[in-house]
Chains A and B, each alone.
Chain A
Amino acid sequence: MKKLSKMFMALTFVGALLAGCGSNNAAPAPAQQPAAEQPSTPAPGANNSGSTTTSPGEPVTAVGSTALQPLVEQTAKDFMAKNQGVQIQVQGGGSGTGLSQVASGAAAIGNSDIFAEEKKGIPANELVDHKVAVVGMAAAVSPKVKVDNLTKQQLIDIFTGKITNWKEVGGDDMKITLVNRPKSSGTRATFNKFAMDGKEEAEGITEDSSGTVRKIIAETPGAIGYLALSYFNDTVKPLKLDGVEANAESITTNKYPVWAYEHMYTKGEAAGNAKAFLEFILSDEVQKKTVTDLGFLPITDMKVERDAEGKVTQK
């Protein structure tokens, strides 16, 4: 008996190894591995019945934008508390990851800071856009900088490297240090498009995480960068743009133009638990409380609408 059970164990072991190696070969993209580990991700668009009742045991994955992640995580927690047995799994990875994961069907929801149309290589027409919040962005400086307001031209000149000292824009004699995001970042794309009119930034310190960017701006004398409004605190100071402060009122009317939608994309119409979750995040309960608490603006408050090309229309 002992021999037999040993044999059996060895065989199972070998079998497991082979199975592991087989699936390794079958999924050659390691970037898609996290999604592949959840085999029961619902096929998006499979159930178009329009029912929003939740069913347990059907986990929904929401992958992508790290800027949107805190909001989705908090909402998912609340949603799961209300709907026993429903699993919402939230992961970061960046807007690009979110878009490509949802386009390939590996995730039910792809979170993104930018329109799918703006990313090359994404079949935008296959994806359905759910705008869940708006996030404003502002130029951030260290509190040591004695400047509160910049005109758009001054901002452009600073970020393109034409102005290199704060005294040229009415501040102290202090060297300007640029803190950028990586070229592929959604925050950089938004800031570049709406604050800098698409002019190419000069080289500066580059960091990806908003927390690190805030720390660098706070501690480097004369540093300037840009942050989502949710990231501002006592250590960094937002700058007015052309005299307009970045706040809820100026953003909802587009008087302050540097803002972006937070998108949650699904492949085809949302269905099942994903649909229920998206409806929950758009409900007054979440929009009025969680969204504002976390530093975003409710999508329902927007008085203007903007499309992927940046064209603004009154609602």
Chain B
Amino acid sequence: MLTYNKRQFTENITGRTVALVCAALLVIVVLSITYFIASKGLSTFFVNGVSISEFLTQVKWDPEGEPAMYGVFPFILGSFLVTALAAIIAAPLGIGAAIFMTEIFPGFGKKVLKPVIELLVGIPSVVYGYVGLSLLVPFIREQFDVLGFSLLAGGLVLALMILPTITSVATDAIEAVPQDLRNASLALGATRWQTIWNVVLHSSLPGCLTAIVLGMARAFGEALAVQMVIGNTTKLPGSLLDPISTLTSGITLNMGNTIQGTPYNNALWSMALLLLAMSFIFIMILRILGRKRAVK
């Protein structure tokens, strides 16, 4: 009965080895990227002697000046503001669309709305940037009598870009709410809207939050589209309609023109390290949200 099957044995071993190598390779890649960015980014502080607090809090950015100034606070602020703005705009829209697709009009939603929204994922970010530059910026300029290149323009473009992420993750979360809960609520005499608001949304809250955080992580790292509409001014903005820079646009605009190993180049790597740290934080938040959902 329990004959030794050589073929099965070799296949098992090969399969296991291949899987193990793939997994190990991934771990090595992630670790080496982290190590590489950290080693470059930290040399700003340990080799070039810039103080970390100056780097994070000063507002003057002039790495080639005399004396060189390495304040990246405007970039950090820009990244956070534009991400928050995108989330504020896209979250209600995305979750609203998700409710529509699952609770209100599932047939139309699944057949038409979902594919249309998912189509947005496939559009390259340079196209978003160019459309923003050609339509959105002049529109804002005419409406508010300002420059047009602004936080608002960046936030709107990003909101459109993260909308599909938020919608599809939120749809999955809402779909996972058991039908019994809805039935029970309706049986107690709740209206359809009361059911959606108090039962469905409430029990899918961790999932919807996951959707928003995922969208924000995407928005935080987006470079090209934002760079084209945000103005890239290293000055603190006075309002939503003022231009500002983000960490990503600061890196992309300067990386090609600086020399490896110079303090300027290292400072750009430090900004990249900051972005990496932020994405770790986003992942941590996602983990915590996921755990919450699992307990439920």
Contact = CB atoms under 8 A, between A and B. Distances in A.
Contact of A203 (B137, B235, B259): B235
A225 to B, nearest CB: 13
B231 A215 contact: no
A83 interface: no
B257 interface: yes
Interface residues of A, number: 48
B257 A94 contact: yes
A264 to B, nearest CB: 17
A81 interface: no
A212 B234 CA distance: 19
Contacts, number: 114
Interface string B11-29: 0001001100110010011
B63 A183 contact: yes
Contact of A206 (B10, B25, B253, B260): B253
B234 A203 contact: yes
Interface stretch (B86-94, B141-149, B183-191): B141-149
Contact of B256 (A3, A18, A94, A219): A94
B233 A100 contact: no
A204 B25 CA distance: 45
B233 A203 contact: yes
Contacts of B101: none
Given A13-B18, A30-B36, A183-B63, A21 B259 contact: no
Given A7-B14, A100-B260, A220 B32 contact: no
Interface string A98-123: 01100010000000000000011110
A212 B133 contact: yes
Contacts of B17: 10, 14
B261 interface: yes
In this complex, the member of B7, B18, B262 whose beta carbon has the largest number of chain A beta carbons within 10 angstroms is B262
Given A6-B14, A10-B14, A185 B257 contact: yes
B95 interface: no
Contacts of B173: none
Contact of B232 (A3, A6, A207): A207
Nearest to A31: B260
What are the 3 tightest A-B residue pairs by CB atom distance, in nearest-first order?
A: A94-B256, A184-B257, A206-B232
Given A122-B259, A184-B257, 4 more contacts: A29-B260, A119-B259, A183-B64, A207-B227
